[in-house]
Amino acid sequence: MEYLSRTLYKVGEDRCFKFHPRCRSTKLTHLCFADDLILCCKGEFHSIQLLLQGFKLFSDTSGLKANIQKSAVYCAGMKPEVVQQVVDFSGFALGSFPFRYLGVPIYFKRITNADCEGLVDKMMARIKTWSSRNLSFAGRITLINSVLLSIHSYWAQVFILPKHVLKNVEAICRAFLWQGTYFCSKPGYVAWDRVCRPKKEGGLGIRQVQAWNIAALGKYVWAIARKQDTMWVRWVNAIYIKTAGWWNYQPKADSGWYWRKICSVKEKLKGLFSEAELDQMPKYSIQKVYQKLVQQHEKVPWGSAVWNRASIPKTRVICWLMVQGRLQTRERLHKIGVCNTTTCLLCEAKDETHPHLFFDCEYSRRCLQGVEEWLDIPTSKVHYMGLLRWVKWKSQCSKFQKTAIHTAVNATVYNLWRARNDALWNQKVPTPSTTIRCIQRSVIDRLAHIGAKQSSTNDQIWWKSKCTI
């Protein structure tokens, strides 16, 4: 492709060749990424002819030819007879705006909701392939962060997406998280703004798509402030900014829609950074700018325990729902008219509420006491937050022992919820001793699987004694 660039530069030096009016100052004739190529010049036949002759020279020399079915001519402000002459000479079809380049729509006007249907369609297509699988909440969270939002992130680094499209992206992620589908009209277990908070602030760490869009486009604001030596920065300086100062620059009313959006992002970043701070940033970090854009909340006291790395992912999410008070207990189901009774399925003595199930219920208290005796925890600790406070402030445990306790407590919450669901759907309740053994085995296997290291001899002796069950 370097040979192609040299050939087209030679074409640009021809006296008869005329650049596109917006590319004259930068002498831009082409944009190329891998095998995707855009050629541009003034809308007159002779310049187009020279450009295509240069490309033909490259094709004849290298053997690389344009795919006729995937290539098109795009014209604006040209006479119909000249357009037809260009189409006949090139052999390409006449295209219309917007066209797609590197998977995103390119247009000189405002991007519409219809132009962004490809983004929504890609996300829904991915979910359709996953909907047949029995995915846990933890699995869905991983797929949202690693796949669905990465599709959005690619588009978000190109232009400001319409608000309607961003709402659709949020709705798709919300439906997939709570129901495993790409559409759902039911409300989620937890408000979406809370879900999008960082884990240390009580959320699931899912990104806010609108704030991420602004942070992603902020990279262009930073590139102009740093005066980076790139074609795009040289182009905007030559066409728009010229001799004006970037920080106080205001776009003209007749400026392109895309450029005005870049300038609006700059105004939002001005509330977070000074010009000197942005200029001194050696490398732009979308994540750091995003963290400044979103509203900060207080850290929750249970964050490190719930999201303890040693816990099995699905137990973390159930614990997160439990501390939020959002598990679908009989009391909550009765309020929305789904269940006729509120009686606890495990003890059949009191109402099934979150405080009762964790750990006022006779069944759950016996399970918790069995785990406490196993890990040398005072049996007077009968509430989740009380256990966390004891581990953090009053225990003399080592780091490894605290990790084991957090893992066991989370496993206890998960297995109690599982026992409750067995009672609901299968009409059988495992004995407390069976549940305790299941908790112990899951903790032992999990710590062995992740390779949790006992840093001292005392830890090794302590853990060896716990593994003999």
- Is pLDDT at 134 greater than 90 in this prediction? no
Q: What is the mean pLDDT of residues 335-340?
A: 90
User: Considering only CA atoms, which of 367, 356, 354 is closest in space to residue 409?
Assistant: 367
- Is pLDDT at 194 greater than 90 in this prediction? yes
Place of tokens 């995937």: 70
Using 50, 70 and 90 to split pLDDT, how confident is the model at 163? very high
- Is pLDDT at 452 greater than 80 in this prediction? no
Q: 342 near 331, Cβ under 8 Å?
A: yes
Q: What percent of the chain has pLDDT over 90?
A: 78
- Is pLDDT at 16 greater than 80 in this prediction? yes
pLDDT of residue 103: 87
pTM for the whole structure: 0.89
Q: Where are the beta strands (DSSP E) in 34-82?
A: 36-39, 72-73
Distance (Å, whole) CA 424 – CA 464:
37
Using 50, 70 and 90 to split pLDDT, how confident is the model at 395? confident
Q: What is the mean pLDDT of residues 441-455?
A: 87
pLDDT of residue 259: 94
ω before 198 within 30° of 0 (cis)?
no
- Is pLDDT at 237 greater than 80 in this prediction? yes
Q: What is the mean pLDDT of residues 32-38?
A: 88
User: Considering only CA atoms, which of 401, 397, 409 is closest in space to residue 316?
Assistant: 409
Q: What is the bridge-based pairing of β-strands 72-73 and 93-94?
A: parallel
Q: 11 near 50, Cβ under 8 Å?
A: yes
Q: What is the bridge-based pairing of β-strands 104-106 and 93-94?
A: unpaired
